[in-house]
Structure 1
């Protein structure tokens, strides 16, 4: 719950305060004929690849697309920290789903301006809540 007044009651937003941080968004599309079984067979290698990138600070966000136009087994979005489009493309090209021919991808330069993330982490219980 916000303690701020409704947006209509606040001053006009100041565009100079937007985050304005650039990332590389990779949208992945399944190749024709890719099945859930194909994805499940390579999922451990794909997840290991992503977790390695995460540990190295390359992956910002990642996950499958579970509904919507054109989604299917292997659909997903990954947001990378990369120096340029060529670097982001090289990273995305190493995805085990891509190297096996199960999906293709498109790289977009994405500017993060707005949003909000909050999380509660319990060290003693080893739990978290994501909001």
Structure 2
């Protein structure tokens, strides 16, 4: 016969970062033909989010040949799912209907970042 202890179990992530971020999954929308025309505005919008410190990372998912496919992902800093959804809705890919989006809250436990790198203009900041 086994007995279960009622003692509280240690939290295995207690020492982890436990940082809340939001993942925006961006998939083909009702008007995918709009996508090519929206690329410049989309990149401008994301660069603005990057400079504000809102955009953590973003990019397209690649197909088996290594080419950008019809879907992508953004990871943003926001205070709520609603705020993250508003950020996603402001992306010209989404507002034009070229893509639709889904927001998922994400809790970061492990990883390493030593410097801030803005990929769009190849600048970096030591932290």
TM-score by length of 1: 0.69
The partner residue of 1:72 within 69, 74, 78 is: 69
- Residue number in structure 2 paired with 1:26: 24
Contact (CA 8 Å) 1:21, 1:111: kept in 2 or not? yes
Match of 1:43 in 2: 39
Secondary structure, in 3 states, of the residue corresponding to 1:17? coil
Unpaired segments ≥5 residues, structure 1? 1-13
Distance change >3 Å, CA 72–CA 84, structure 1 → 2: same
Higher strand share: 2
User: Quick check: 1:52 aligned with 2:48?
Assistant: yes
Q: 2:101 aligns with which of 93, 102, 105?
A: 105
Contact 1:30–1:72 at 8 Å: present in 2 too? Answer: no
Could you tell me which runs of 5 or more consecutive residues in structure 2 were left unpaired when the two chains were aligned: 1-11
Correspondence for 1:17: 15
**Aligned Cα RMSD in Å?**
2.5
In structure 2, relative to structure 1, the CA distance for the partners of 1:127 and 1:27 (3 Å cut) is closer
CA drift of 1:33 comes to 6.1
* Counterpart position of 1:8: none
Count of aligned residue pairs for this structure pair: 105
How far off is 1:101 after superposition? 0.5
The 8 Å contact of residues 28 and 103 in structure 1, kept in 2 or not, is answered as yes
TM-score (normalised: structure 2)? 0.71
Q: State the 1:67 CA deviation.
A: 2.8
